[in-house]
């Protein structure tokens, strides 16, 4: 099954690959965005190369493999150069909450768009959605490091908690849904 590429990735790739004449067409007929044909072309290319990308670079990457890469970058001299245990769990929590606060500010701005008050935002809705994705990702990156600092296998903890809550509320996966 082909990866589900996010629309903003498809659009950015299509824009990057467009000829000047295609960009002019996009500006004239599509508000500066690539048309459906360009998006379809990019989707075909990405689907063709996806099997050759490292797992962490594809949608749905492995959380444990990412955790190793995340900690390595955190501690590496050519990364952040910050040993995991140089911070307390409280420090990791504070960093995570800082990112969550940034996401909350973006959510506030997206609520303005929802409520018809988007004119008070400096950024477009698309730009805000991109920023929201970045802030949520930052939260996840810090949560992973905090879990590692606490000696918690985050992938196992998430699965265990999800399954316990599912059993508690009586949720049963639909037939044909991917198995854990």
pLDDT digits (tens, 9 = 90+) for 27-67: 888 887 888 887 888 777 777 766 665 554 555 678 888 89
Q: How many domains does one find in the chain? A: 2
pLDDT greater at residue 149 or residue 1: 149
pLDDT tens by residue, 110-160: 888 888 887 878 888 888 889 899 999 999 999 999 999 999 999 999 999
Residue 180 lies in a domain: no
Nearest CA to 87 among 100, 96, 99? 96
122 shares a domain with 162: yes
Contact 65, 55 (CB under 8 A): yes
91 shares a domain with 139: yes
Whether the pTM exceeds 0.75: the reply is: no
Report how many helices (DSSP H) and strands (DSSP E) the chain contains, helices first: 7, 0
**Residue matched to tokens 């299509």:** 14
Backbone angle region of 152, left / alpha / beta, with phi > 0 → left and psi within -120 to 50 → alpha: beta
Nearest CA to 111 among 121, 101, 96? 121
Residue 1: predicted pLDDT: 45
Average confidence (pLDDT) over 157-167: 91
Give the domain extent around 29: 7-55
Nearest CA to 95 among 149, 160, 132, 151? 149
Residue 2 lies in a domain: no
């Amino acid at each position: 099954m082909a990866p589900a590429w996010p629309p903003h990735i498809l659009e950015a790739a299509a824009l990057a690959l467009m000829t000047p004449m295609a960009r002019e067409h996009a500006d004239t007929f599509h508000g500066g965005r690539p048309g459906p044909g360009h998006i379809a072309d990019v989707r075909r290319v990405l689907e063709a190369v996806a099997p050759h990308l490292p797992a962490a670079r594809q949608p749905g990457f492995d959380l444990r493999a990412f955790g190793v890469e995340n900690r390595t970058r955190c501690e590496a001299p050519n990364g952040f150069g910050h040993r995991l245990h140089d911070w307390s769990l409280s420090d990791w929590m504070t960093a995570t909450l800082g990112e969550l606060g940034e996401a909350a500010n973006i959510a506030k701005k997206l609520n303005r768009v929802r409520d018809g008050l988007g004119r008070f935002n400096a950024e477009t809705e698309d730009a805000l959605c991109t920023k929201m994705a970045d802030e949520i990702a930052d939260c996840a990156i810090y949560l992973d490091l905090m879990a590692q600092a606490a000696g918690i296998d985050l992938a196992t903890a998430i699965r265990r908690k999800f399954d316990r809550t599912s059993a508690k509320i009586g949720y049963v996966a639909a037939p044909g849904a991917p198995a854990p």
